[in-house]
Structure formats: C-alpha cells, structure tokens
Structure 1
Amino acid sequence: MAEPAAASRLPRALARRVGRDVPAALTRYRVMAWVVGVLLVALVLVAVPVKYLAGVEGPASVLGTLHGWLYFVFFLTACDLALRASWTLRGTVLTLVAGTVPILSFVAERHATRTTRAGQRV
C-alpha cells in the first residue's frame, strides 16, 4: 500500500525530531493564532471605527473583551508549543508580540508553522 507523498511523512518526521506532542501543539497554536488574528482585525477595522464614528460602544467592548481573553489562551498555546518544539526565547517573544499586531499574527503563524514543521527552532 503506497503512502501519500510528503503530507503523511511530515508529521511523523516532526514528531521524531522534537517529540510526539508537537504536531498537536502546533495545531492548537495555529487555531488560536487565526482566531485571535481575525478578532483583532475585526476589532481594529470594524468595532473601533463604529465606536468613534457612530458612537456605538457595544461591538468594541464585546470584541475587545473577547480578544483579550482569547489572547490569553493564544499565549498559553504558543508557550506550550515553544517549550515542546524547543523554540528560542527570541522567536517565542516575537511570536507572542505578533499576536497583538493586526495582520502580523497571520504572518507569524505561517512562519512558525513552516519552521516548526521543518524541524527547526523558531
């Protein structure tokens, strides 16, 4: 029975390189990076302008609070991945800070995913 190409080998190679729990931690990190990134973009590009241009404070307060709580979950998942994949302190801090900048969180997630899947330290 033939295996699918690189897609099936990648998680196993990654698991051998840095530990069996890294692929699951990477998936958790990626989900949280996208959730936090989308919420931050919605907050900055929709809710804050609505608050200041239309005087409606509800969306900004709801999205701001939600982003804050979910950023904490993102922080924990990123730290978990950094420890499991043996990231550098510099890479870890830059990845965590990128979660606070709209659009940059998506770039940082992509970089961290590629680097971690390659079995390298971020």
Structure 2
Amino acid sequence: MLKTFRLIAILEGISYLLLFGVGMPLKYLAGIKEPNIYIGNAHGVLFIAYAIIAVLVCRQQNWGIKRYAILFIASLLPFGTFYIEEKYLSPKALKA
C-alpha cells in the first residue's frame, strides 16, 4: 500500500501543477477551456485517492492523527506531495 501511496502522491502533485500551471492559464489567458476539464477531473480523482489512501497508510503504519494532518495539508500546497514523498514515504525516510 505504501508504494501505491507514493505513486498517488507524485501523480497528485503533478496534476496539481498541471492544473494551475497549464490548465488555468490556458482557460483564462487564451480562452481554451477543454484541457482544464480533463486535467481538473484527473486532479480531483487523484486528490480524493490521496486523501483516502493517506488514511489507510496511517492506520497500516500506526501513524497518528498529527502525521495524517501533515499529509493532508501538504496535498493542498503546491509541491507539498513531493515533499511528503521524499520526507515520509521514500525508502530512505522509512529506514530512518
């Protein structure tokens, strides 16, 4: 489950950056709305998957509510899930 969570964290971060770095400028600056539909849907699904899997991983790893709060808040920040992946989910972090 941890590998899945790592993958979802990275994909969620990428979708966040694509949505606000590509989709929104295309929509509001160029008037092209279509990419935002697909990027937005993908980001929404990945965000929900991230939040649900975070709960499951926290239970599986016996992490407390504080760690879950950190994981969730990071999903709201640009580059946050990349930080979480490196600090909490990478093999190097798990060995420490």
Deviation track 1:62-109 (CA, whole Å, cap 9, x = no partner) reads 211211112111112111110010112111111012112221110012
Contact preservation (8 Å) 1:43, 1:60: yes
> Which of 27, 42, 45 pairs up with 2:18?
42
The one-letter code sitting in structure 1 at the alignment partner of 2:95 is A
The whole-number CA distance in structure 2 between the counterparts of 1:67 and 1:84 is 25
Which residue is 2:87 aligned to?
111
Correspondence 1:31 to 2:7: yes
The whole-number CA distance in structure 1 between the counterparts of 2:72 and 2:57 is 12
Correspondence 1:100 to 2:81: no
Contact preservation (8 Å) 1:85, 1:116: no
Length-normalised TM-score, structure 1: 0.71
User: For the pair shown, which has the larger CA radius of gyration, 1 or 2?
Assistant: 1
Give the paired residue count: 95
The whole-number CA distance in structure 1 between the counterparts of 2:19 and 2:93 is 29
Q: Which runs of 5+ in 1 are unaligned?
A: 1-24
- Bigger fraction of residues in helix: 2
CA-based RMSD of the aligned residues comes to 1.7
Q: Which runs of 5+ in 2 are unaligned?
A: none
Contact preservation (8 Å) 2:86, 2:93: no
Which residue is 1:61 aligned to?
37
